[in-house]
Amino acid sequence: MKSFLPLIFGMTAVTYLPRLIPLITMTERPINPLLKRFLLYIPYTALSALIVRGIIEAPTEMQLATIIGIVAAGICSFFKGGLILSVLVSVVAAFLVL
Amino acid sequence: MIEKDQTPIFTSIKQGVLTSIPLIFGYFPVAMAFGMLSKNIGISFRDTSFFSIFVFAGASQFMALDLINAGISTGNIIIATFLLNLRHLMMSASLSLRLQEIKKHWLLFIAFGVTDESFSVTSLINRKLNVPFLLTLYGLSYSSWVIGTITGYLIGSILPLAVQNSLGIGLYAMFMALLVPETKKSMPILCLSVFSGLLYIFISYFNLFSSSWSLIGTIIIASGAGAFFIKDSAIEEDKI
C-alpha cells in the first residue's frame, strides 16, 4: 500500500499555517480589497469546479446516480438547508437509482 | 499568572460541551464517509487516521481523496489544499480580534481547531472566548472527526456495494450543500459558481491545462475574475 505521509504532512502545513499565522500576528492590517475578494471567492469557485468535475469524471454507470444525487442535495439544501440532511437525502436518492 | 476572565473554569467547560453538540453530531457521519471512501480507494488504516488526526479539514480531505483517485501528483494536491484553505486566513484574522487576552502558547492549539463549522459556531456566540471554553469546543469536535473516520474505515466495508457507491456520492452532495445556501444569499456568488463550473468544463474539454492543473487553474481564473468584476460587499461583511 502506498504511503501518503508526504501528502499528509504537506497538507497539514498548508492547513495549519493559514489558521495559525493570523492568530499569532494579531494584526488588523487592512488587506488589499482585491486580494480579499479573491480569497473570499475561492471556496465557491472551488466547490463548483469540484462538483462539475465529479460529474464529468464519474464512471459511466455511476453518472446518472451522481447527477441525481447532486441535484437532490441541491434541492434539499435550497428548501430545507442543513448539511447532514441534504447529504442523507442525496445518498438515498442515489441509492434508489443504482 | 493573573487571568482576566473571571468565568469559573467548570462553567466554561460546560458551555464548551453544550456548544460542541451540533459539531459532534455534524462531523461524525461525514467523518465516517471519509474513512470509508479512503479505504475504498486503497489508503491504509494508518494514513486514513493520520489524515483526520493531522490535517483536520473536511473539504480538503475529501478533495484530496478525489484527487488521489484521479492520479493527481502530491505537489498539486498540496497546492489545491492551500488554495482551498486560504479562506481560513480570513476566519483566523477575524477570530484573533476576540482572542487578544489569550496567551500565545494556547493559540497554537486553538489555531488547529479553526474550521468552517467551528468558526461559524464561535462567531455566533456572544460570550467571552476563553481558553477552557475553546479547548473543550474544539477538542470535542476534533475527537468526533477522528473517531468518526476510524469507525467509517473499520465498519464501512460491511455495507453492500450499492450503499458504498451511494455514500461516495455523498461527497458531492456535501459540496453542493455547502455551496447552495451561499448562492441563495447572493446573486453574484451564484453567477460566479456557475461561471466556475462552466469554465472547468471548457478547460477540461479543450485540455487547456494538464489534467492535474485544470482544477487549480479554474479556481484561480474564476476567483480572479470574481475579484475584478464582482464587488459584492454583502458577502464580505457576512463572512468577516
Q: What is the pLDDT of residue A29?
A: 62
Q: What is the pLDDT of residue B47?
A: 96
Which residues are CB-contacts of B50 (< 8 A; sequence separation ≥ 6)?
A4, A5, A8
- The distance of A34 to chain B (nearest Cα, Å) reads 6
| CB-closest option in B88, B195, B232 to A19 | B88
For testing contact with chain A, the best of B47, B172, B201 (most A CBs within 10 A): B172
Average pLDDT over residues B81-85: 88
Beta carbons of B122 and B137 less than 8 angstroms apart: yes
**CA–CA separation, B120 vs B114, rounded Å?**
10
Query: Which residue of A lies nearest to B50 if distances are taken between CA atoms?
Result: A8
B232: which chain A residues are within 8 Å (Cβ-Cβ)? Answer: 37
| pLDDT at position A57 over 60 | yes
Q: What is the pLDDT of residue B240?
A: 41
Q: What is the pLDDT of residue A26?
A: 63
Domain extents for chain B? 9-168, 186-240
| CB-closest option in B84, B112, B183 to A19 | B112
Cα distances (Å, whole numbers) of residue A97 to A68, B105, B118, B162: 8, 52, 35, 10
CB contact under 8 A, A48 and B26: no
**CA–CA separation, B169 vs B159, rounded Å?**
15
Q: What is the pLDDT of residue B235?
A: 57
Q: What is the DSSP letter of B230?
A: -
Q: List A residues 37-76 in contact with B (Cβ-Cβ < 8 A).
A: 37-57, 62, 65-66, 69-70, 72-74, 76
- The distance of A36 to chain B (nearest Cα, Å) reads 8
Between A86 and A78, the higher pLDDT residue: A78
Cα distances (Å, whole numbers) of residue B2 to B9, B10, B101, B110: 14, 18, 11, 20
CB contact under 8 A, B111 and A23: yes
% of chain B beyond a pLDDT of 70: 88
Average pLDDT over residues B214-222: 86
Element (H, E) at B162: helix B161-185
Alpha helix (H) residue ranges in B206-232 = 211-229
Which string of b and e fits B156-188 if b means at least 16 CB within 10 Å? beeeeeebbbbbbbbbbbbbbbbbbebbeebeb
**CA–CA separation, A63 vs A59, rounded Å?**
6
pLDDT, tens digit, 9 for 90 and up, residues B94-135: 788 778 788 888 999 999 998 877 876 776 566 778 899 999
Beta carbons of B137 and B23 less than 8 angstroms apart: yes
Least confident of A46-60, B97-111, B151-165: B151-165
Q: What is the pLDDT of residue B95?
A: 80
pLDDT, tens digit, 9 for 90 and up, residues B17-64: 887 876 787 678 778 889 998 998 999 999 999 999 999 998 889 889
B26: which chain A residues are within 8 Å (Cβ-Cβ)? Answer: 83-84
| pLDDT at position A98 over 70 | yes
| pLDDT at position B238 over 50 | no
- The distance of A90 to chain B (nearest Cα, Å) reads 6
Helix, strand or coil for residue A28? coil
pLDDT, tens digit, 9 for 90 and up, residues B169-215: 777 887 788 789 888 888 999 999 999 999 999 999 888 877 667 88
Query: Which residue of B lies nearest to A2 if distances are taken between CA atoms?
Result: B43
Domain extents for chain A? 32-97
Q: Which of B143, B106, B166, B189 is nearest to B28 (CA)?
A: B143
CB contact under 8 A, B173 and A11: no
Average pLDDT, chain B: 84
Beta carbons of B35 and B131 less than 8 angstroms apart: no
C-alpha cell at B1: 499568572
For testing contact with chain B, the best of A53, A67, A80 (most B CBs within 10 A): A53
Indicate the pLDDT class of residue B236, thresholds 50, 70 and 90.
low
**CA–CA separation, B81 vs B58, rounded Å?**
11
Q: What is the pLDDT of residue A47?
A: 83
CB contact under 8 A, A51 and B107: no
- The distance of A64 to chain B (nearest Cα, Å) reads 11
C-alpha cell at B34: 471519509
Between B90 and B66, the higher pLDDT residue: B66
